[in-house]
Every structure is written in structure tokens, then in C-alpha cells.
Amino acid sequence: MAALILLGFWLGRQAEQAHLISLETNEAQYQDLVLSNSKALPVSAQQPAHSELISASVVIASDAFKNFLATLISILGGRIDVYEALRERARREALLRLRAAAAARGAQCVINVRIETHDISLSSVEAFAYGTALRYHTPGV
């Protein structure tokens, strides 16, 4: 049991670090693609050529060590920072995939972005992001 938890700690940390690095790399790739959670058009005078609803999601599992730590903290009280980090990673990944989906459709930005985060099971979380992707005639708005 302790061995499983230690294995979870080691492999879980590897997976988390790898994911954080990949998030940073890929987010840099899409930094010109603006996300907004307002309904306003980015440039109010300019009408986009095309708009469509897009969405993206990811389900990430926690590891045995995080679950063990979370159970401990929920008995003792306090912030469960291991789960905070997990949910935040899931949201970042979902938003990254939303950007990728927008870029694949030739869109320059996504407006009215909404994010849902909820549990799939006791130890995995889904982040779901959706919004309206806007494509303009002249790129680089």
C-alpha cells in the first residue's frame, strides 16, 4: 500500500512536470490567439467573416499520492493544494485545446469563453471549455 503511494508520488510528479512543460511550450505557440469571456467583439467596428461555436475538453486523473494527501488534509482541514494544481492543469489544457481548435478553423479569437470543471470520479477531473470562434477576412486583427 505504501509502495503504491510512493510509486504514485514518483510517477505522478513526473507526469505533472512533463505536462506543465508541454503546457508552457504549446501556450507560447498560440499566444496571438486571444481568448475573452466577454460577448463584445474585440474590435467593435469590425464584423467577422465567420463565427462558430467550438469546444474542447480533457479528463485528467489524479495519482495515488495526491489522493492519499487529499484524504489526510480533508480530515485535518486546510487547502488541498494538490487538487488545486490538478484542476488548474486541467483548465489550462482545456483552454489550450480550445485555442488549437480555433486555430485549426482559421479563427483569430474566441469570445464568450466559458469553463466548467467537475469530477468524473473520485480521483479524476474534467475541464470543458467552449466559446464562439471568430474568423476575420484580414488576419492579425
Which parts of this chain interact with other proteins (CB under 8 A)?
A: 4, 7-8, 11-12, 15-16, 19, 39, 41, 47-49, 51-53, 55, 57-64, 66, 93, 111-112, 114, 116, 118-121, 123-124, 126, 128, 130-132, 134
14 vs 74 by CB, closer to other proteins: 14
Cα distances (angstroms) measured from residue 85 to each of 23, 30, 34: 13, 22, 24
The least distance separating other proteins from the CB of residue 31, rounded to whole angstroms, comes to 23
74 vs 121 by CB, closer to other proteins: 121
62 vs 99 by CB, closer to other proteins: 62
The least distance separating other proteins from the CB of residue 93, rounded to whole angstroms, comes to 8
8 vs 99 by CB, closer to other proteins: 8
The least distance separating other proteins from the CB of residue 100, rounded to whole angstroms, comes to 14
d(CA 125, CA 122) in angstroms, rounded, equals 8
* Phi/psi-derived region of residue 112, left when phi > 0, alpha when psi is between -120 and 50, beta in every other case: left
